[in-house]
Amino acid sequence: MGKTLVEKILGIHLMEGECKKDEPIGIMIDQTLTQDATGTLAYLQFEAMGIDKVQTDLSVSYVDHNTLQTDNRNMDDHLYLQSVANKHGIYFSRPGNGICHQVHLERFAKPGHTLLGSDSHTPTAGGMCMIAIGAGGLDVACAMAGEPFHLKYPKVINVKLKGKLRPFVSAKDIILYILQLKSVKGGVGAIMEYSGEGVLTLSVPERATITNMGAELGATTSIFPSDGQTLDFLKRQGREQDYVALAADRDAVYDEVIEVDLGEIVPYAAMPHSPDNVKAVSELSNVKINQVAIGSCTNSSYRDLWIVGKILEGKVIAKNVSLVISPGSKQVLSMISRDGTLTRLIDAGARILECTCGPCIGMGQAPNSAGVTLRTFNRNFEGRSGTKDGQVYLVSPETAAVSALKGFLADPTEHLDRIDNFVFPDEFRIDDRMIIPPSPTPENVQVIRGPGIKPLPEMLPPPSDLSAKVVIKVGDNITTDHIMPAGAKVLPFRSDIPKISEFVFSSIDPDFHNKAKAAGSGVIIGGENYGQGSSREHAAIAPKYLGIKAVIAKSFARIHKANLINFGILPLTFADPADYEFVKDNDEVTIKNLHEAIGKTEFMANIGGRDVPMRLDISERDRELLLAGGTLAFIKRKFAK
Ligand code: MIC
Ligand code: SF4
């Protein structure tokens, strides 16, 4: 029987277990990446492991999320990241060099290799045929220490692309279409593997838009084959030597197959407040807009900004619109500044931002009250833009650009005339001087720790009996942006757990942190898909700091569930989801003989005086991690041996 692309790459990297669906496996990680907002914790944890040098082929630390430097804390974080990278064999991509996923794709991604990143959009590198997975910082720290990454062997969903996109329809529309089809839970436990003749029509940056936003399907990752397009992109990046041809065997067998005819895709928009709330733009044409933001790791490549420049050429944006553009990398900015694109953008009225995440993570450019903002980003969760009632629509760069001119949400296929065909320039501008290689004499490097970098809180093993109180009960699809908000107000505290914990659930219950502290030992009740979205482990470590011992939900998102286990919080599910209805705020929760219970898949809890059957669906290794009080305690013990 033939093999899928996923089977081939995972097979070569298998360190533990068997390549059988749902079996726990451990895979070798070739490369890691971190960004500043998750990186400080990841490196504090790496340091706590006591290892001198990373064990991977390549590890890169990027600074792209918080570069506002509104006070000392932000630059203190940058200095810590730079010095800790220098000491431990890690490359450091300086602020201004670009968004981690865009730069990684350009300069480091290699077909057939594995990448683990402390950011949920790490799958972007799947556009370069990598198995690229997002995880919590602690998992990335373990991978840097040479430990395998543990996951359940995923199912593989084959997305067969046929035909070719029509003019002004682009990769973003393909992934929005798939999100409409499958929903934000449609990829849970799966890898999306793309194939078919339509794949050949998509360049690497276009493929990367699709694999990037595969994260919004809940998928473990997404991957494209390595073919002529891959070779072409690598050649232009001066990295031809990194190319290998890789594809699934013709007779590969998949768990599910979806066929997509590219010729039938139209411009789509994801409406507030979920990436799967998708409609055709033509059905939404009367929506008046206030702001357009182009950029983020989804749509900020040279190709995307070139097309936006061509659409805006010689025109000016509508009076009612503020247009902001953040190029994905220094390479992109440098190239658009040479070919006339930048002038076209500025002349049309665009405000040019730094090459960072910027408005995507709520670092500025919050829309007006109830304002409508079109964004080429990947997430439109409520409040993430920085304005609680902001109405965020996710669209392609083509739709964003034409709408900025019109002043309302406009379908580019209806409103645009032909523009020149996009062709890549022969050579990309290659200049890696903003990426600092690690020190050849690490013994002389001193790690710089500013006052904002607080030591990690102590993680204790679980008590022998659990006695706790329900501190909050929430509904379905709660995101990590609800649990641990980001944005300009909160991101500066990413290295200070006691301080950042004051913001847990602040958008839902501003008093949560006081209530949790008063309870001393607390439980969170969640609905379906609890913890979707970002990989931020602060959404686990801060509740842990506030005394949360368990989350009892109907189901969990993958990365958040792993983060809960890493920090010793029990991710329990209701054996009968109907029991969710009976649980109330302030109910007492007891679990007798907790250590014994952690060893089992099913056991009883008592909630508010009722016996409620619980499930703990985790691997044997996860049970050991929980009993040790979390992964760091477990790993430290292992290395001490
Ligand atoms: C996001 O898009 O939500 C982030 C900010 O990039 C996060 C990481 C973080 O919270 O630092 C992610 O996607 O993992
Ligand atoms: Fe940055 Fe936004 Fe991409 Fe997250 S989704 S890495 S915040 S650009």
Q: Which of 64, 411, 481, 622 is catalytic?
A: 64
CATH code assigned at 632: 3.20.19.10
Q: Which of 207, 231, 264 is the last residue of a domain?
A: 264
CA of 121, closest atom in ligand 1: 13
Same domain as 487, residue 564: yes
- CA–CA separation, 274 and 129 (whole Å): 28
**Which listed residue (101, 104, 236, 536) is catalytic?**
536
Q: Is 66 in the pocket of ligand 1 (CB under 6 A)?
A: no
Q: How far away, in angstroms, is 544 Cα from ligand 1 center? A: 19
Range of the domain at 388: 270-412
- Contact present, 137 and 41 (Cβ < 8 Å): yes
pLDDT single digits (tens) 322-336: 999 999 999 999 999
The residue from 231, 248, 264 where one domain ends is: 264
Residues 109, 158 within the same domain? yes
Question: Do the domain assignments include residue 320?
Answer: yes
Is omega for the bond preceding 595 within 30 degrees of 0, making it cis?
A: no
**In this structure, is residue 484 part of a structural domain?**
yes
Any catalytic annotation for residue 64? Answer: yes
Q: Is the CB of 74 under 6 A from ligand 1?
A: no
Query: Which distant-in-sequence residues (6+ apart) come within 8 Å of 306 by Cβ?
Result: 336, 339, 341, 422
pLDDT of residue 455: 87
Q: Is residue 444 part of a domain?
A: no
Q: Which of 119, 173, 304, 411 is catalytic?
A: 119
Q: Are residues 259 and 282 in the same domain?
A: no
pLDDT score recorded for residue 459: 86
Q: How high is the pLDDT of residue 580?
A: 98
Return the pLDDT at 285.
Answer: 73
In the three-class reduction of DSSP (H, G, I as helix; E, B as strand; rest coil), residue 114 is classed as: strand
Q: Which of 34-43, 255-264, 327-336, 451-460 has the lowest mean pLDDT?
A: 451-460
**Ligand 1 centroid, distance to 305 Cα (angstroms):** 23
Burial of 576 (0-12, 13-18, 19+ CB in 10 A): exposed
Assess whether pLDDT exceeds 80 at residue 350: yes
Shared-domain flag, residues 216 and 311: no
Residue nearest to atom 2 of ligand 2 (CA): 360
Same structural domain for residues 211 and 329?
no
Q: Can 57 be counted among the known catalytic residues? A: no
Pocket residue to mutate for ligand 2, from 356, 361, 538, most atoms within 8 A of Cβ: 361
The catalytic residue among 13, 59, 65, 326 is 65
Task: Please pick, among 93, 120, 329, 534, the residue that the annotation labels catalytic.
Answer: 534
- 379 in active site: yes
From the CA of 481, how far away is ligand 1's center (Å)?
A: 9
Residue 54 has pLDDT above 90, yes or no: yes
pLDDT value of residue 119: 98
Ligand 2 atom at shortest distance from the alpha carbon of 100: 6
Question: How does DSSP classify residue 360?
Answer: G
Cβ atoms within 10 Å, residue 421? 6
How close is the Cα of 120 to the center of ligand 2, in Å? 9
Catalytic (active site) residue 496 = no
Percent residues over pLDDT 70 in the chain: 100
Of ligand 1's listed atoms, the one at least distance from the Cα of 379 is 2
Residue 295 CA, ligand 2 centroid: distance in Å: 9
pLDDT band at 377 (very low <50, low <70, confident <90, very high): very high
Which element (helix H / strand E) includes 211? helix 204-213
Could you tell me the pLDDT band of residue 254, with boundaries at 50, 70 and 90?
very high
Q: Is 536 a catalytic residue?
A: yes
| Mean pLDDT across the chain | 97
- Ligand closest to 100 (CA) is 2
121 close to ligand 1 (CB < 6 Angstrom): yes
201 Cα–ligand 1 center, Å: 30
Half-sphere exposure of 88 (CA within 13 A, CB side): 27
Read off the CATH number of the domain in which 343 is found. Answer: 3.30.499.10
Catalytic (active site) residue 71: no
Q: Which residues of 629-639 are buried (b: 16+ CB within 10 A; e: fewer)?
A: bbbbbbbeeee
| Separation between Cα atoms, residue 403 and residue 396, nearest integer Å | 11
Residue 428 lies in a domain: no
Ligand nearest to the CA of 357: 2
Inter-residue contact 358 to 239 (CB < 8 Å): no
Distance between Cα 212 and ligand 1 center (Å): 12
Please check whether residues 46 and 182 belong to one and the same domain: yes
Is residue 626 lining ligand 1, measured as CB closer than 6 Å?
Answer: no
Q: Are residues 509 and 557 in the same domain?
A: yes
Q: What is the pLDDT of residue 15?
A: 98
- Ligand 1 centroid to 488 CA: how many Å? 13
* Substitution site in 357, 380, 494, 532 for ligand 2 pocket (most atoms within 8 Å of beta carbon): 357
Q: CA-to-CA distance for 404 and 313, rounded, in angstroms?
A: 12
Does residue 38 have its Cβ closer than 6 Å to ligand 1? yes
Residue nearest atom 7 in ligand 2 by C-alpha distance: 361
| pLDDT bucket at 427, cuts 50 / 70 / 90 | confident
Q: In the predicted model, is pLDDT for residue 161 greater than 90?
A: yes
> How far does the centroid of ligand 1 lie from the alpha carbon of residue 206, in Å?
21
> Which tens digits make up the pLDDT trace of 468-477?
999 999 999 9
Number of structural domains found in the chain: 3
Q: From atom 6 of ligand 1, which residue's Cα is the shortest distance away?
A: 119
Asked if the structure places residue 456 within a domain, the reply is no
| Cβ–ligand 1 contact at 536 (below 6 Å) | yes
Last residue of a domain, one of 234, 264, 294: 264
Helices (H) and strands (E) in the chain, counts: 22, 27
359-376 residue pLDDT tens = 999 999 999 999 999 999
Identify whether the C-beta of residue 420 lies closer than 8 Å to the C-beta of residue 590: no
Q: Are residues 229 and 85 in the same domain?
A: yes
Q: Please check whether residue 438 lies inside any domain of the structure.
A: no
User: Residues 6, 247: contact at Cβ < 8 Å?
Assistant: no
Considering the domain boundaries, does residue 112 fall inside one?
A: yes
Q: Identify the band that residue 419 occupies on the pLDDT scale cut at 50, 70 and 90.
A: confident
Question: Does the pLDDT of residue 127 top 90, yes or no?
Answer: yes
**Whose Cα sits closest to atom 4 in ligand 1?**
534
Among candidate residues 133, 298, 269, 279, the one with its CA nearest the CA of residue 210:
298
Task: Tell whether the model's pLDDT for residue 398 goes beyond 90.
Answer: yes
Within this chain, do residues 126 and 211 fall inside the same structural domain, yes or no? yes
Query: Which tens digits make up the pLDDT trace of 548-561?
Result: 999 999 999 999 99
Which of residues 285 and 616 earns the better pLDDT score? Answer: 616
Q: How confident is the model at residue 421 (pLDDT cuts 50, 70, 90)?
A: confident
64: Cβ below 6 Å to ligand 1?
no
Q: Which residues pair with 574 in a beta bridge?
A: 614
**Could you tell me if 226 and 308 lie in one domain?**
no
Q: Report residues whose beta carbon is within 6 angstroms of any ligand 2 atom.
A: 65, 99, 119, 121, 296-297, 357, 360-361, 377-378
Q: Which atom of ligand 1 is nearest to the CA of 357?
A: 6
- Whether the predicted pLDDT of 296 surpasses 90: yes
- The residues that bridge with 252 in the sheet, in sequence order, are 2
DSSP 82-106: HHHHHHHT-EEE-TTSB-HHHHHHH
Both 367 and 478 in one domain: the answer is no
The rounded Å distance from CA 536 to ligand 1 centre is 6
Q: Is 184 close to ligand 1, i.e. is its CB under 6 Å away?
A: no
Q: Is residue 95 part of a domain?
A: yes
Residue 499: phi and psi, rounded to 5, are -75, -45
pLDDT-derived band at 416 (thresholds 50, 70, 90) equals: confident
The average pLDDT across 407-416 equals: 95
Residue 37 CB–ligand 1 contact under 6 Å: yes
Q: Coil, strand or helix: which one is 505?
A: coil
Residues 168 and 302 in one domain: no
Q: Which of 128-132, 309-313, 634-638 has the lowest mean pLDDT?
A: 634-638
pLDDT reading at 641 higher than 80: no
